[in-house]
Amino acid sequence: MGEILTAAQMRAKEKSIMDSGAASGLELMERAGRGVVDAAIHAIGDLTSCNHHAVVLCGPGNNGGDGFVIARTLSEMGWTVEVFFWGKAEALSGDARHMHDLWTAIGEIRPMTAEAAGQGVCPTFLFDAMFGIGISRPIPIDCARAFETVTKRQTEDGMKRCFVVAVDCPSGLDVDSGEVLVPILEEDADDEAVMAYFPETVRPRLLPLHTDLCVTFHALKMGHCLTEVSDLAPAVVDIGLDADAVGQVPIPAGGPTVQVPPPELPTKAWVRAVTAIGAGGHKYDRGHALILGGGPGKGGAARMAARAALRVGAGLVTLAVPPEAVAENAAQLNAIMLSEVLDAKALATMLEDDRLSAICVGPGLGVGQRTRDLVLTALRMTAEDGRRVILDADALGSFADTPEDLFKACHDGVTITPHEGEFARLFPDLGQRVRRSDPSKPALGKVDAALRAAERLGATVLLKGEATVLADHRGASAIHSALYDRKAPWLGTAGAGDVLAGLIAGLSAAQMAQISHAIDLAAVAAWLHVECARSFGPGLIAEDLPEQLPKVFRDLGF
């Protein structure tokens, strides 16, 4: 299951299978609820020391319908189940209403208030079935408060708290953007602040619902990959929506096609491509990466990029620096070659040599006119010949005031690698909407923002972060999330971004037939980057990253 779906795509899949008659909505809901119970019990493993007591919070839509199935399933297994409901039975959809009625035939339903939810023993499980993929605004404050009070129930010895299982997603997660729509819970928050949708400055006061395990259906949704929604990696339950059963489900217009690069993309095929290119051949078969470096005392970033490019597989790497920085770099480099490049004119002459197969511009270069000229020259000299250009850091910062100049010069061989701040400076209209600042407008989400930016540039965008989003001008997109069991928070260290740019440059230079699109090269680089960080562990500094590559390749079986 390499695909990641939007809410609309999931709805289309469900509709398609229901229309085909292969399964009814009720059957899907039954499988969903039972699948959640199985996944929750599986996650705990040994239940012998747990009470068989669960609380289920049900909302007004089909997510609540799943909750009623969960309650009935556990009750059939002999569990004591408390159900709290936020909504009106008569307003439930047909399927959810049916599940509600099946539950009320055997159990009780109480209104969802903090007072009621706070009473009683600490349950083994709390199921959050309040809101799923249908959420459109912050969840009602009563729901958030009820949730909080259940989680505060204590065992007699005060040693345990309940295990929180989110049904489909933690309530309040916008599954397309990964944004959390949860109201402020502090007692002193005035109503206006609770109901308004908040400027960035008060966001940190929003309290997401803490979740141990999220159980979703059929496939991960984008939000699961953009935001760490639970402590454990989300579990995906098969509810019988496989493409084989329903035929190819058309992606709704405007919906992005999102793929998960890891671990599917970095298969042995590409590792073989990276590590075996030129085996027994000539170093020129593996390409020649040119990295532009900064002035005296500013050379570290480009040197790290160069080292990453060489380690990842480029046959040759040249660092080109201003004349006054040659001595400093000469003292630091061995396998990496050194050239002098005075200005844009000198770069143009250098790039007449078409053996230079990829160019990385940005790390440590400084923001200003010289960098702008170098970028525009690199773009002009490569516009027609298929050579790849990677623009990072100062190459992007230098166009903050004149982004149009960059957009005009970019071509389909270009990959830009901004972090969120650099992205927002280049694309202010998109950057502001990566998160919702206006209650009336949905958040654009990083994937949509990156897609629009890529279209504007006619190039590939790698938007950095814990969840790295990739998009290209053809409309392809991917998320590479360093979340859950691929977490590597120590990767947030000075210079790590320069190494990533170097990895992309090195892979691009090698011109592997197996990986022809820039977005795939960037995805492989992002995957290797995190893999190197995980392989090294805490204490990592950026210089360590390229040095881990041989081990990462070896661990992959080479």
Pick what 217 binds: K ion, ligand NAX, none; C-beta below 5 to 8 Å, kind-dependent.
ligand NAX
| Identity of residue 328 | E
Q: Does residue 373 have a known ligand-binding role? A: no
Residue 518 sits at φ, ψ, to 5 deg, of -60, -35
Tokens 């002035």: give the residue: 295
Are 213 and 40 in contact by the 8 Å Cβ rule? The answer is: yes
Q: Does residue 171 have a known ligand-binding role? A: yes
Pick what 413 binds: ligand NAX, K ion, none; C-beta below 5 to 8 Å, kind-dependent.
none
C-alpha span between 236 and 294 (Å, rounded): 47
Pick what 128 binds: K ion, ligand NAX, none; C-beta below 5 to 8 Å, kind-dependent.
K ion
Which 111-130 residues touch K ion, going by CB under 5 A?
128
Beta strands in 427-471 (DSSP E): 460-463, 467-471
Q: For residue 458, what are the CA distances in angstroms to 386, 414, 473, 523?
A: 14, 8, 5, 18
Pick what 472 binds: K ion, ligand NAX, none; C-beta below 5 to 8 Å, kind-dependent.
none
Residue 39 has which token pair? Answer: 């996944």
The answer to whether 143 contacts K ion (rule: CB under 5 A) is no
Q: How far is the CB of 59 from ligand NAX (least distance, A)?
A: 5
The answer to whether 150 contacts K ion (rule: CB under 5 A) is no
Q: Does residue 378 have a known ligand-binding role? A: no
The answer to whether 181 contacts K ion (rule: CB under 5 A) is no
Q: How far is the CB of 484 from K ion (least distance, A)?
A: 18
Q: Does residue 136 have a known ligand-binding role? A: yes
The answer to whether 171 contacts K ion (rule: CB under 5 A) is yes
**For the residues of 46-59, what is the DSSP string, one character each?**
--TTS-SEEEEEE-
Q: Does residue 135 have a known ligand-binding role? A: yes
C-alpha span between 115 and 92 (Å, rounded): 24
Of 195 and 367, nearer to ligand NAX (C-beta) is 195
Q: Does residue 468 have a known ligand-binding role? A: yes
For CA atoms 110, 116, 119, 122, the dihedral sign is: positive
The residues, ordered by sequence, that sit 6+ positions from 159 with a Cβ below 8 Å of its Cβ are none
Of 32 and 356, nearer to K ion (C-beta) is 32
Q: How far is the CB of 32 from K ion (least distance, A)?
A: 11
Pick what 423 binds: K ion, ligand NAX, none; C-beta below 5 to 8 Å, kind-dependent.
none
The residues, ordered by sequence, that sit 6+ positions from 413 with a Cβ below 8 Å of its Cβ are 382, 386, 387, 388, 389, 459, 518
Percent composition of the chain: helix, strand, coil (DSSP 3-state, to 5): 45, 15, 40
The answer to whether 211 contacts K ion (rule: CB under 5 A) is no
Q: How far is the CB of 288 from ligand NAX (least distance, A)?
A: 51
Peptide bond into 262 cis (omega under 30): no
Q: Does residue 134 have a known ligand-binding role? A: yes
Q: How far is the CB of 72 from K ion (least distance, A)?
A: 17
Of 143 and 290, nearer to ligand NAX (C-beta) is 143
Pick what 133 binds: K ion, ligand NAX, none; C-beta below 5 to 8 Å, kind-dependent.
ligand NAX
Among residues 58, 167, 271, 410, the one that binds K ion under rule CB under 5 A: 167
Neighbours of 513 (CB within 10 A): 7
Residues contributing to the site for ligand NAX (CB under 6 A): 14, 25, 28-29, 32, 59-66, 95, 131-140, 167-168, 217, 239
Are 359 and 365 in contact by the 8 Å Cβ rule? The answer is: no
The residues binding K ion (CB under 5 A) are 128, 166-167, 171
- State the binding site for K(+): 63, 128, 171
- State the binding site: 62-66, 128, 132-138, 168, 171, 301, 364, 419, 464-468, 497-498
